[in-house]
Structure 1
Amino acid sequence: MAASCCGVKKQKLNNSMPSICCNGSSVHPNPHKNGYTVASVEMCFFCFDVLHSHLYSYDPPKIPSFTNDSYPLFVTWKMGRDRRLRGCIGTFSAMSLHNGLREYAVTSAMKDSRFSPITKEDFPKLHVSVSILTHFEDAGDFLDWEVGVHGIRIEFYNEKGHKKTATYLPEVAVEQGWDRIQTIDSLMRKGGYKSSITHEVRRSIRLTRYRSEKITISYSDYVCQKQNGHA
């Protein structure tokens, strides 16, 4: 099932995003204990290729060379110098990376209900991030996670007794300048909880924490890669 990863689009980021160089990523993934990392810059290039083909009705890009193992994943599109969020959708169900990135590169760009679909005119202003989710753990309580280290997914019941879920990737709390309680409260609001959020309400949450390997590139990185003959 698809899920959106970020806060409401009008939230102002308190921290500026890191700069991006032509041949690298702004965020380096944390390696697994055995030193192996899943996320790669080629995955971001592939997302640009997929979206470009979709916007211009070209044939789909060729099968990529990176691993096709299965993982939960998210694709995030931001636009402009201020990195305005334009789409962020992914899945907690493990998908083969080739199919998963092909699907969510387009879904996050065109079908995030918070935003209008990305257009051809938007394309040269874009940045894309690929987040590969790993190390899922059931938390002991709503405070059993670290800001900037873990992404969190919560399950709770709203005022009508309906089960709701919501998630934030690890970078969201850092970008917003939130502590753990502020993050939990924002996430409950995102999930549709409208009543007062008390300590007892927070204690009733079921929280899953996870880690994310994230790679980000800009359109200029993508063009540089094409010009260097790595298409």
Structure 2
Amino acid sequence: MRVVIAEDNVLLANGLELLLAEAGFEVAALVGDATAFLCAVEEHEPDVTIVDVRLPPGFRDEGIRAALEVRRRRPTLPILVLSQYVEQQYAGELLTAGGGMGYLLKDRISRVSEFTEALLRVAGGGTVMDPEVVAQLLANRRPGPITTLSPREREVLALMAEGLDNQALAERLFITDNAVHKHIGNIFAKLGLAASESGHRRVRAVLMFLEG
């Protein structure tokens, strides 16, 4: 699986390259700014990309803007965004970009198996959201439909926001598949998401959660 990495921190970039090589990935390009990232994607046509939120020259949101521009040009290209700190404003924006998108804190890289699993999930078209981001969103929750959910339903929705599918939810919570379906059905009902929106209800529920 070919990867393009955009990371300006040389030590972290080289560490990522070694880590991914050992995990069986092929690093097609390693670049340090948003412009080079866009060019590398066009040149190498990778299977998945990794990009830092903040890149030169401004170290503000160049990385995330480059990621969204790549998705505009190549709507199905998977992208895993890395950030040093929780930056909640990007969570909803990334999620609305569709599947094959992830947002992780850089601390997660040191947990190698967890990081490579997240990258593979994104590469496979899934969505990954760092648990710390989800936790802070929960802590800052404003009154609204989400607050009508039971503690267990909020737990299920938080894990949905991380990108877990129904089977992974059941395994994480030590409950049956039927229990997962029941909780998700209750979430949809309480959030007013009709069955006619079946193909989009999961995404809309998570967006409501992220937007608070």
TM-score normalised to structure 1 length: 0.28
Per residue, is there more helix in 1 or in 2?
2
Q: RCO higher in 1 or 2 (8 Å CA, sep ≥ 6)?
A: 1
